[in-house]
Structure 1
Amino acid sequence: MENVYIISWMGFFGPDGGFVPDSNSPDIRQVAALARVSIATVSRVFNNPSRVSPATREKVRAIAERVGYRPNPLGQRLRKGRTEAVGLVIQTPPGRSLEPFFLELMAGLGEGLGDAGLDLLVTTCHSPTQELTHYRRLVEGQRVDALVLARTRHSDERIKYLLQQDLPFVVQGRSDAIQQPFPYLDIDGEEGFFVATRYLLELGHRRIALIAAPRDFNFALHRLRGYRKALEAAAVPAQAEWVLEGDLSEESGYRLALELLSLPQPPTALLCANDLMALGALHALRERGLRAGREVSVIGYDDISPAHYTDPPLTTLRQPFRAMGRRLVEMLLARMDGVPAQKLQEVWAPELVIRGSVGPCMETSISPRSGAASVSPQSGGG
C-alpha cells in the first residue's frame, strides 16, 4: 500500500485531503475591506494581475504584505495548472522506521522548499521495483512539478526513467554507470573512508574490518574503494574475511560485528558504512565485555543525532544533511529555470568527527565463548 505524506509550510492537509490554512492568517475579505476594493479585485491582483490597474495592484499587495495575507495555495495551483509540489520516494524495508538519514535530508528539503513556497510530497515503499512504480505514478499522474531522488544505485533505473521524461529532477548521490548528465549533489565517500582508514592506520591499527553497505548502492562502492586505497597506500593487505556486507540496520551491524570478533585474529578496528550499523557494533562490543576506543575502535558514517550520545560517543564521518537538502532545492529551482544539468553537479567532502570510540591500537586476544579479553600494546602489523 502506498503511503503519501505532504509536508507543507503553509498549513496542513486534513483527513479528507483538503488544505487547511493557518487559522490565524488574515483572509481575502480583510484585505478587500482595508483596500476598499471588492474581493474579486483582490483575487485578480494575485491570480490575473494584468486586469488590475498598477495603482490598485500596488495598494492591495502592500496591505496584504502588512497584514500577512497569503492567497489560498491550492486555489492558485488549480488556476495555474501546477501542483507546486516536489516529490520524493523513500524505500524502507517492512517493519523498519525511516532512517535518520532520510529524516534529516527531508528536513533540509522541506525548509528549502518551504522558503520557495513549495510542498514536499513523500511516498514510501518497500522495494526498488515499487520505488520506480511510485516515481512513474508521480510523473504520469502529473502529481508533482519536480522530483528528488536519494540513495542512488550504481545503475539506477529511476534516473534512467527520469532522463526520458520532461520533468526537472535532482539527485542526492551519483550513479557511476549512467553516462548521460543529470544534476546531483554527493558526498565524497571514497575520500571519507580513505581519511577514516588512514586515521586508524596512524593510530597503529592494521586489522581494520569494514562492515559495508549493499554493493548495489553507488556510495557503497565509493566507500569500499576509499578503504582499500588507504590500506594499499600503507602496504597493509586487505583481507577478504574482514569485509562483510550489512543492510544498513543496527541489527546487521550487531550481527556482523559479533562475526568479526569471533575470527581467530579479530580486527582491532571496525569501519562501518553508516552510523546505524556502528551503533549495532557498539552493542556487540558491550555484550562481549569490550570497550570501544580501547580494545576495539569503531567509526561510523553520517553523524546522526544518537552518535553524540553513545557510550563512548561515536567517531564518525559527518554528512551535513540539512545543508544538503537546502542545496538540492537550490539546484532543483535552477534546473526548473533551465540551467543545464552539467552545471549542477557537486561533490562535497565529509568531515571526520573524532570522539571517544577510537583509540590507539591495542593487541586484543578474545575468547569466542567467554568474551573475555586480554590487552597489550600493538607493536607491529598483523
Structure 2
Amino acid sequence: MPITIREVAKQLNLSITTVSRALDGYSDVSEETRQRVIKVAKEMGYTPSRNARQLRRQRTDTIGYIMPTSQPRFADPFFSEFIAGLGDEASAQNLDLLITRAPPNQEGEQVVYQRWIQGRRVDGIVLSRLRQDDWRVHYLHESGFPFVAFGRTNIPIEFPHIGVDGASGIRRLIAHLVEQGHQRIAFVSAPSDLTLQADRFRGYREGLAEAGIIFDERFIAEGNLTRDGGYLAAKKLMALPSPPTAIIGVNDLTAIGILRAARELGISVGSDLAVAGFDGIDDTEHTAPPLTTLKQPVYDCARRLVRMLAALTNNEPLQEPQVLLFPELIIRDSTIR
C-alpha cells in the first residue's frame, strides 16, 4: 500500500495540515519544519497526490500554447523549435505543457482561447506570431490572465515579452547584399497584419535608403510564410522585364521556396541570384546551396518565456519584463558571388 500523508504526519508528530502546507511551500511554515517534512516524506517514500495538490492551490501546474497556424502537423520548423524550448523548460519547472493549434484571426481561435481561459485549463499562456493589433493581447489583458509573448504589438498595453529587432537584421543583410554588388533587391513579405512583417519590411526600406537604392514596389511580392508562398512569389518576381538579382524571404521557409523556383528556372543561386531568409532554422544549413539567414534564438527564447511565465503565475516580480534581442547574420553560399 502506498504511504499516506496521515502516516507522514504521525511519524513527525505534526498535523496533516502542517505537513500538507510544508510540502506545498506555504510561507507560514518555517524553513526548518519544511525541510524536516520533506526529508521524512522522502525517506518514507511518500509522493503527494498532484490532483489534490492542484485542487488545494487552485492551480493546474500547466501552461498553454496555441499555435497560430492552419497548416497541418508541424509544417513550419519554427514551431517545432519553439515548442521544444517550451517543453524542455516546462519540464524543468515541474509544469505540464498543453498544446493545440488554431487558424489565426478566425472564430475557431477565439473559441479555443475562451475555453482555456474561462475553464481555467491552464495557469498561463505563451503567445507567438503577434499581430500589430492582436485581439489575443486585448483579451488576455482584459481577463487579467497571465501571459507572455514572443514578439511585440502596436497596442499601447504593457506585457511581458521577448522581441527580436528584425529591422536592424534586415538592414545588415541588405548592406551585405550591396557589398556583393546587388542593386535590384526584392522582398517576399508575410501577411500584413503580423508585427514581424512590419518590422522586417521597415528594415528593408531603411536598408535600401541607407544604400542609396530607390524603393521599387515591383520588387515586393506577398507570401504567406510557407515554401509554396515563396516559390510562387519568386516565379512572379523573376518574370519581370528587369528581374531582381537578390531576393530576401521574410522567413526561412519562404526563402527555401525561392530556392526551388530558381532551381526550376535554371538560375544559379549565389552567382546569378542571391537568396536569404530569416529565422535560422536547421534546414538552412542543408539547402543547395546553404542559405544565408538571420538567426534568432528561438529555442532559448522559448525557454526564457516559460521562466517568465512561471514567475508571473507565482506572483514573483520579473527582473526584465521586456527583452529586445538582435538576430545574428549568418552568411552562406546563397549570397556569395
After TM superposition, the score normalised by the length of structure 2 is: 0.88
Q: Which residue of 1 aligns with 2:99?
A: 122
- Structure 2 counterpart of 1:297: 274
Give the total of aligned pairs.
332
1:150 aligns with 2:128: yes
CA distance in 2, matches of 1:81, 1:304: 39
Hey, what does 2:226 align to over in structure 1? 249
Q: How does 1:153-302 map to 2 (within 5 A)?
A: 153-176=131-154, 178-302=155-279
2:74–2:80 Cα contact (<8 Å) kept = no
Measured in 2, the distance between the counterparts of 1:60 and 1:90 equals 41
Give the Cα–Cα distance (whole angstroms) in 2 for the partners of residues 296 and 52 of structure 1: 68
> What do residues 147-166 of structure 1 show as CA deviations (whole Å, max 9, x unaligned)?
11111001001101111112
Contact 1:182 1:342 in 2 (8 A): no
C-alpha distance in structure 2 between counterparts of 1:105 and 1:68, whole Å: 36
Q: Does 1:47 align with 2:20?
A: yes
Helix, strand or coil for the counterpart of 1:61?
helix
| 1:348 matches 2:325 | yes
Say if 2:188 and 2:222, in contact at 8 Å, map to a contact too.
Answer: yes
Query: How many Å separate the matches in 1 of 2:189 and 2:125?
Result: 29
Alpha-carbon distance in structure 2 between the residues aligned to 1:269 and 1:28: 67
Change (3 A) 1:242 1:153: same
Q: 1:55 to 1:202 in 2, by over 3 A?
A: closer
Separation of aligned partners in 2, 1:59 and 1:39: 8
Query: Partner residue of 2:119?
Result: 141
Q: TM-score, normalised by structure 1?
A: 0.78
Deviation, 1:82, is 1.0
Name whichever structure is richer in helix by fraction. Answer: 2
In structure 2, what is the Cα distance between the partners aligned to 1:303 and 1:141?
Answer: 37
- Partners of 2:150 and 2:90 in 1: how far apart? 16
- Partners in 1 of 2:250 and 2:109 — Cα distance? 23
Match of 2:335 among 342, 353, 358: 358
1:109 alignment counterpart: 86
2 CA distance for matches of 1:229 and 1:68? 63
| Offset of residue 213 of structure 1 | 0.8
CA contact 1:28–1:42 (8 Å) conserved in 2: no
1:131 lines up with 2:128 in the alignment: no
Secondary structure at the counterpart of residue 88 of structure 2: helix
Number of the residue aligned with 2:3: 29
What is the DSSP-based 3-state SS (H/G/I as helix, E as strand, rest coil) of the residue aligned with 2:3?
Answer: helix
2:207 & 2:29 partners in 1: Cα distance?
67
Q: Deviations over 1:320-339 (max 9, x none)?
A: 11110111122223333446
Q: CA RMSD in A?
A: 3.1
Q: Which moved more, 1:100-109 or 1:90-99?
A: 90-99
Give the letter for the 2:161 counterpart. Y
Q: Can you list the C-alpha shifts for 1:67-119, whole angstroms capped at 9, x where unaligned?
A: 99753433321232211111111122254644211121111112222211111
- The worse-fitting range, judged by mean Cα deviation, of 225-234 and 283-292 is 283-292
Distance change (3 Å), C-alpha of 1:316 and 1:70: farther
Q: Structure 1 55/257 Cα, relative in aligned 2: closer, same or farther at 3 Å?
A: closer
2:19 and 2:9 mapped to 1: Cα distance?
16
Q: Is the 8 A contact 1:92 1:98 kept in 2?
A: no
Alpha-carbon spacing, 1:269–1:52, altered in 2? closer, same or farther (3 Å): closer
In structure 2, how many angstroms separate the alpha carbons of the residues matched to 1:53 and 1:182? 34
Shift of 1:40: 12
**Partner AA of 2:166 in structure 1:** G
Q: Secondary structure at the match of 1:295?
A: coil
1:246–1:43 CA distance, 2 compared to 1 (3 A): farther
2: CA distance between counterparts of 1:356 and 1:40? 71
Distance 1:259 1:226 in 2: 23
Question: Once the 2 structures are TM-superposed, how far is the Cα of residue 132 of structure 1 from its aligned partner?
Answer: 2.5
The answer on whether the counterparts of 2:3 and 2:46 sit within 8 Å (CA) in structure 1 is no
